[in-house]
Structure 1
Amino acid sequence: MNHDLVVIGTGPGGYIAAIRAAQLGLNVACIEKESMLGGTCLRVGCIPSKALLESSELYKEAEHSLKDRGINVGSLELDLAKMLGQKDRVVKTMAGGIGSLFKKNKITRYTGHATLIAPGKVKVDDGKTVNELESKYILIATGSQPSTLPGITLDGDRVGTSTEALKYEQVPKHLVVIGGGVIGLELGAVWSRLGAKVTILEYLDRILPTTDSEIADEAQKIFEKQGLEFQLGCRVTGVKTNRKTCDVEIADSKPVRCDRVLVAVGRRPNTDQLGLENVGIEVDKRGFIPVYEHYETSVKGIFAIGDVIGGAMLAHKAEDEGVAFAEHLVTGFGHVNYNTIPSVAYTNPEIAAVGKTEDQLKEEGVEYRKGSFPFIANGRARAMGQTEGRVKMLADKQTDRVLGVHIIGPRAGDLIAECAVAMEFGASSEDIARCCHAHPTLAEAVKEAALAVDGRTLNF
């Protein structure tokens, strides 16, 4: 079978690249080894975790917060099976939506494992039949998988990754999370809200290592008030499973006994068994595929995007790369501004950021001004009863150009979009401060933080 473009992987990067290329007139095929489209993000990552985060937060509100608003719910009962079922329905519906988009854009789908056999040639094996595809261009968008640590054996049950933590059939009595990054905090929060004791073990002396340290410190204090326990600066050396319990072994410390362990220590690229050696592509020491300008690998006509090339392992980063790849391939133009890619942790409160952290600016010797505004002084946050956190804005001392925005608070993941757009257009803090924001809205906190850069907040 001949195609103009063959995309390996149907995660956010792969399926978006395929759709954009098809819109631009290419004959496109997509290869996916799983029966369900959407990749890790849709099947066992972003989407199902957000469904559980939302459900668990509603449960927590019903248990503690609604009575303060005069809403008495009576006896409260958790139906975990139904909650998991709602999560699965969301995933199934969205995966079906990608299938419909493929049909709409006349994208050919092949199910099976893809192997590069030569430049311009890919083999697809579904276990029963083998198809050989020929294409002028090949795009690798195979994503990533959870990493583990030496001494830890993942059994897919009591010691598992985020995949298993999305489908526990019972609420753990004591869940130990190894890793204090976004994934560990999000899933730790889910099971804590539903009744588990949650202990988070982190090798570093802080949580959320890539987050602005001031925001991360505030987040830890909030999460501790919510019941999460943290042990920082501890090196996990192994996990010993007993008949009904697990002992998480820590160097120079007593082991922590629990009934389930979630290993959330990062992700590694899916570059094994792709046949890269057949075409002469060498990965780096961490398994990532090196790419040059416009995502082309060392082999002409073979490209790669998303988690397999490193950088921020974010679905929207892969999507933007997919669009830029397809547009450059057809039109000769395509670009991603990596300085304005936002990140979000969907904890409660949410944590979102775009641009440089204060730590990075200090390290780089950049002179800056800082403005901060707390949600406790925001009318909408008060009305919602969600007043923890703040907006922090960093601007160049000489030019006032916004260099970074960091938010911890309600709907931070939505609020950061305004900041990303502002930075994409080279806005100053004064530009944001001069824009009229509707009242009462959470977005007013962004405006007030911009005003704070110049020391002239109006409501704090």
Structure 2
Amino acid sequence: MYDVDVLVIGSGPSGQKAAIAAAKLDRRVMVVERAHMLGGVCINTGTIPSKTLREAVLYLTGLNQREVYGRSYRVKDDITVSDLAARTQHVIGREIDVTRSQLTRNRVRIMTGTARFDDPHTVVVTDPSGHGNKVTAEKIVIAAGTRPARPASVDFDEQTIIDSDGIINLERVPQSMLVVGAGVIGIEYASMFAALGSEVTVVERRDRMLEFCDLEIVEALKYHLRDLAVTFRFGEEVASVQRHAKGAVAVLESGKRIAADTVMYSAGRQGVAADLDLERAGLAADSRGRVEVNENFQTSVGHIYAVGDIIGFPALASTSMEQGRLAAHHACGEPARGMPQLQPIGIYTIPEMSFIGATEDQLTDQRVPFEVGMARYRELARGQIIGDSYGMLKLLVAPETRQLLGVHIFGTGATELVHIGQAVMGCHGTIDYFVDAVFNYPTLAEAYKVAALDAMNKIRHLAQLHD
């Protein structure tokens, strides 16, 4: 007889949803989480703090209102870290309470400590005092997540040289910042600190950033970040960082030297599998600390599952939640439909961007013909009202069937608006739906109708020339 039916290691988005799903299926469930980390990295140091910080930056700088009230408009002149932290800590506290409430309401036991395997069905949980407790479980779900990858050659000190987790612990807003790595996390933080007035330089070894996104959207983002005085150094690598009393100097392999108050490394994330003694359970991890799974999120040991960031791409809170739910259903022998192919990507830069479906480059490589329908926020009454003249929504459409192949949005509310396109694509819909639909006025959602009409007119014009 096992102590519990399902043991979940980690309480982030994937672990929490796995635990609750198993509890709903009348299983005895326990979650193991480190002290002061309920809700995982997502709530405590990652997604929630960074998105809350972004909202605080947008509000306090008055950035979104400058189109209307002028470039000098600000809600607060001297923005301090405590201004930003107040809102962030408030939201983190509330989210932890919500997570704890949901777990306890569903009769999920919470055990505080760090977990490691003793054998395939046994986990030793070491509590904060150092005492180890053994817990046996019929099924185990690994949802232990990741930590920022730290190059061994870099001397992190948590103030001058930091990783993305260290952002929320900064004592002041730096006058200058160097961001190493132009991935999603690096660009999100670069845009936030540029909006706060920091002089930001981004160094990226590749020739472009966010390669999985639509090139036109990325170019629009780059233009706006340059307008916020961000400097980009593409095709460059940092050879070394020298710390000084008043900041740091980064030396690039090309010989360039860049001075900054703060250097933030955004070098991807590393799975924490090495902390779990996986070999005792008959498992192994790859060089990035990730665990391999099948389509049901089972590891090579059938009763052990892994979900969330620890299994690698796409490593999003949104997809992780669904992975956790599906793994729990499979572990409990409950049928469930698999992960949908269509998943939206949201990037919380300033301005934000979001997309679903194919990009122009992907369709071109696959030799799939497409037409483009474009709507610009400045053409919409709502865009003028909110002071967003730069936003845009782009539809990629199959000319023959008018089926929607991709939706790409840049500007205010992009991460919300994308779900309208997701719903239509999920139902294999065509742009006829947008052409015929009546949208509230004035809204940003009207952009779908404008873009659909733009694409339809191009398709009609092409058909007339063929006749």
Q: How far apart in 1 are the matches of 2:63 and 2:153? A: 41
1:448 aligns with 2:444: no
Residue 180 (structure 1) aligns with: 182
Distance between the aligned counterparts of 2:74 and 2:196, measured in 1? Answer: 17
Aligned residue in 1 for 2:260:
258
Q: Which residue of structure 2 lines up, in the alignment, with residue 347 of structure 1?
A: 349
Bigger mean CA deviation after superposition, 169-178 or 54-63: 54-63
| Secondary structure at 2:273 match in 1 | coil
Aligned counterpart, 1:87: 88
Tell me how large the CA RMSD over aligned residues is: 2.3
Task: Indicate the residue corresponding to 1:6 in structure 2.
Answer: 7
Inter-partner Cα distance in structure 1 for 2:307 and 2:61 = 39
Preserved contact between residue 238 and residue 250 of structure 1 (Cα < 8 Å): yes
1:29 aligned partner: 30
Q: Which residue of 2 aligns with 1:280?
A: 282
Counterpart pick for 2:385 among 376, 380, 383:
383
- The AA in structure 2 aligned to 1:54 is E
Tell me the equivalent position of 2:161.
Answer: 159
Cα distance, 1:336 vs structure 2: 4.0
SS in 1 for 2:136: strand
Q: Does 1:433 align with 2:464?
A: no
Deviation at 1:428, TM superposition (A): 2.0
Percent of pairs with identical residues: 30
SS at match of 1:272: helix
Question: Higher mean Cα deviation, 291-300 or 59-68?
Answer: 59-68
Change (3 A) 1:62 1:374: closer
- Once the two structures are TM-superposed, the CA of residue 333 in structure 1 deviates from its matched residue by 2.1
AA in 2 matched with 1:428: T
Q: Write out per-residue CA displacement over residues 421-454 of structure 1, whole angstroms, 9 at most, x where no aligned residue.
A: 2222222222333332211100111222233222
Tell me what 2:327 maps to: 325
Letter of the structure 2 residue corresponding to residue 155 of structure 1: D
Alignment of 1:52-451 (within 5 A): 52-61=53-62, 65=66, 68=69, 76-126=77-127, 127-149=129-151, 151-330=153-332, 332-451=334-453
Q: Distance in 2 between matches of 1:303 and 1:100?
A: 25
CA contact (8 A) 1:144 1:308 kept: yes
Does structure 1 conserve the Cα–Cα contact (< 8 Å) formed by 2:12 and 2:40?
Answer: yes
Cα distance in 2 for partners of 1:294, 1:50 equals 31
On the 8 A contact 2:58/2:64 being kept in 1, the answer is no
One-letter amino acid of the counterpart of residue 124, structure 1? V
Conservation of the 8 A alpha-carbon contact between 1:151 and 1:239: no
User: Deviations for 1:365-401, whole angstroms, at most 9, x for unmatched residues?
Assistant: 3222222211111110111111212111123344333
Kindly tell me: are residues 331 and 453 of structure 1, through their superposed partners in 2, closer, same or farther at Cα, counting changes over 3 Å? Answer: farther
The residue that corresponds to 2:48 in the other structure is: 47
3-state SS, counterpart of residue 275 of structure 2: coil
CA separation in 2, counterparts of 1:74 and 1:106? Answer: 45
CA contact (8 A) 2:303 2:331 kept: no
1:7–1:140 contact (8 Å) kept in structure 2: yes
What is the alpha-carbon distance in structure 2 between the residues aligned to residue 190 and residue 234 of structure 1?
22
The TM-score normalised by the length of structure 1 is: 0.94
What is the deviation of 1:456?
Answer: 6.3
Secondary structure of the residue that 2:26 maps to in structure 1? coil
Asked whether the 8 Å contact 2:62–2:75 carries over to 1, the reply is no
1:125-146 CA distances to partner (integer Å, 9 max, x unpaired)?
1143211111110000111111
The alignment partner of 1:164 has SS state of helix
Query: What are the superposed Cα offsets for residues 282-330 of structure 1, whole Å, 9 maximum, x if unpaired?
Result: 2234332111131110002000111111111110010011112223333
- CA separation of 1:150/1:119 partners in 2, compared to 1, >3 Å: closer, same or farther? closer
Task: Tell me the distance in 2 between the aligned counterparts of 1:146 and 1:50.
Answer: 17
Q: Relative to 1, partners in 2 of residues 1:72 and 1:239: Cα closer, same or farther, differing over 3 Å?
A: closer
**Matching residue's letter, 2:101:** S
Pair 1:62–1:119, CA change in 2 (3 A): closer
CA deviation digits over 1:82-130, x for unaligned, max 9? 3212211210111111111111000001111111111221110114321
1:9 positional shift: 0.4
Partner Cα distance (1:440, 1:67) in 2: 17
Please give the TM-score of this superposition, normalised by the length of structure 2: 0.92
Query: How much does 1:163 deviate?
Result: 1.3
Q: Write out per-residue CA displacement over residues 39-98 of structure 1, whole angstroms, 9 at most, x where no aligned residue.
A: 1111011111111111111122179728728x9889733243132122112101111111
Q: How many residues end up aligned between the 2 structures? A: 457
Cα drift, residue 335 of structure 1: 3.4
TM-aligned CA distance change 1:167 to 1:338, over 3 Å: farther
- Maintained 8 Å contact 1:325/1:334: no
Indicate if the aligned counterparts of 1:186 and 1:345 stay in contact, CA closer than 8 A: yes
**Change beyond 3 A, Cα 1:75–1:224:** closer
Distance 1:7 1:75, change over 3 A: closer
Shift of 1:338: 4.7
Q: After the TM superposition, which of the residue ranges 203-212 and 133-142 deviates more from structure 2?
A: 203-212
Cα distance in 2 for partners of 1:72, 1:32 equals 44
Q: Which runs of 4+ in 1 moved over 6 A?
A: 71-75
Return closer, same or farther for 1:450/1:333 CA change in 2, 3 Å cut-off.
farther
For the 8 Å contact 1:320–1:336, the answer to whether it is kept is: no
Q: Secondary structure at the match of 1:231?
A: strand
Inter-partner Cα distance in structure 2 for 1:10 and 1:363: 40
> Partners of 1:205 and 1:355 in 2: how far apart?
24
Cα 1:74/1:291, change in 2 over 3 Å: closer
- State the secondary structure of the residue aligned to 2:291: coil
Question: 1:344, 1:352 within 8 Å by CA — same for their partners in 2?
Answer: yes
Matched residue type, 2:121: G
* Structure 1 match to 2:462: none
